[in-house]
Amino acid sequence: MDEMISLIYRGCTLARDLQLNLPNLANQPIDLARSCDEIARVFGSVRDRLNGTILLHEFQQQEWLRQLQPRVVVPEDPKGTFDIHGVPPESSRMEEVEQPRGGGEDASGSSRNSSFQRPRRRKDDANKRTIRVPAPRMGNTEIPPEDGHTWRKYGQKEILGSRFPRGYYRCTHQKLYNCNAKKQVQRLDDDPFTFEVTYRGEHACTISSTAPSVPPTSTDFVQNMAQQATTIQPPVSQGPPVSVPLGHWLSIDISHRNAGVSGAGTSSNRMVGSGGAGPSTVQLGRENEYQPVADLADTMFNSGSSSNNSMDIIFSSMEDKWEAGDKMN
DNA sequence: CCGATTTGACCCTG
DNA sequence: CAGGGTCAAATCGG
């Protein structure tokens, strides 16, 4: 374990060095990439050791984008698990059991007196799909991966037997489009670098302010986004069967993502924003400005934005981790 | 000012 | 009754 700690320290040192030299390295993408790669290697090594699942050399061989690819490993939840390849489940690929029970969504304002019984659904009432997606291995690992939709957090709860709280999200467009899609995000106990994301309900809004819900072509993407910005589309339950390699879509997403750090992490000893998938926005009109190195950095730090507080995020995040670790030990 | 997040309380389900 | 899911007031932040 000492070795692990020293590795982490080394990674942090490298990251700090990178931060300090950032102004100089900014004009030297090769060195920048090399530096990032080294940091990635160190933390990747730590992560791999912790997990004991992925070999270091395998990690080194993987592309960054590959690492963001959701790993679907939910053997213990056969009924709701499926492979979505980083895309939130849409009806086109949903074959889960649908158990309609009760009426509509609970979005209605409800009085809190006991005489009023608002319709409620248990978690297995709506069609429920669970996936596992890797958390960013570096940077702000508290941000769950983008899934192409904007979510608004409406609750967080400590779950019995889980070290990490569960975040509750609903679609940002719930009111606008009567979209009842929800998701729960929870970090795995045994693998803090993995989020278990449970989707419930379906998006009545096909739109997203972050990224497409299905991998589009880049032009589709821009057109789609442009359309979304100006029109309200009628509810469509099935997206077009666009088949674009995930890597392509991810590259689009990553290159444009402006991951919302979403004001999370304001208080220190709570897992605030553990599911910080808060609304993030995408920057349109930069379709052709894809820069591999910048993407690498974006991916690494998962800040996505060009803000220069990535390091702060990293270190604050690390400190939180260490604190948590201290408490555990 | 408005929308998002936080957070304690409420309430349903098992 | 315990635990999980949601509400909504307070708070935050752009």
Nucleotide nearest to A115 in CA–C1' terms: B11
Most confident of A60-64, A190-194, A276-280: A190-194
B10: residue with closest CA to C1': A112
**pLDDT the model gives residue A49:** 60
Helical H runs in A111-245? 174-177, 218-230
Nucleotide nearest to A108 in CA–C1' terms: C7
Instruction: Please check whether residue A53 is in contact with residue A8, taking contact to mean a CB–CB distance below 8 angstroms.
Output: no
Would the pTM count as exceeding 0.75?
Answer: no
Mean pLDDT of chain A, nearest integer = 53
CA distance linking residue A148 with residue A197, whole number of Å: 13
Nucleotide nearest to A116 in CA–C1' terms: B11
First to last CA, chain A: 12
C13: residue with closest CA to C1': A263
According to DSSP, the residues that pair with A167 across neighbouring strands are A156, A185
> What is the mean pLDDT of the segment spanning A92-106?
34
Residues A37-58 have pLDDT tens digits of 777 777 776 666 665 433 333 3
Cα–Cα distances in Å, from A126 out to A97, A123, A153, A234? 9, 7, 19, 22
B11: residue with closest CA to C1': A114
**pLDDT the model gives residue A168:** 92
State, as a whole number of angstroms, the distance between the CA of A107 and the C1' of B12.
Answer: 16
Does residue A115 reach within 7 angstroms of strand B, measured from its CB?
A: no
Residues A182-238 have pLDDT tens digits of 889 988 888 877 888 888 877 777 544 443 333 333 333 333 433 333 333 333 333
CA distance linking residue A266 with residue A270, whole number of Å: 9
C12: residue with closest CA to C1': A263
Cα–Cα distances in Å, from A164 out to A69, A119, A134, A295? 22, 28, 15, 29
State, as a whole number of angstroms, the distance between the CA of A156 and the C1' of C3.
Answer: 14
- For strand C, which nucleotides have at least one atom less than 7 Å from a protein CB? 2-8, 12-14
Q: How confident is the model at residue A329 (pLDDT cuts 50, 70, 90)?
A: very low
- For strand B, which nucleotides have at least one atom less than 7 Å from a protein CB? 3-14
Instruction: Indicate the burial class of A85 (C-beta count within 10 angstroms; 0-12, 13-18, 19 or more).
Output: middle
Of A254, A272, A280, the closest CA to residue A65 belongs to A254
Does residue A116 reach within 7 angstroms of strand C, measured from its CB?
A: no
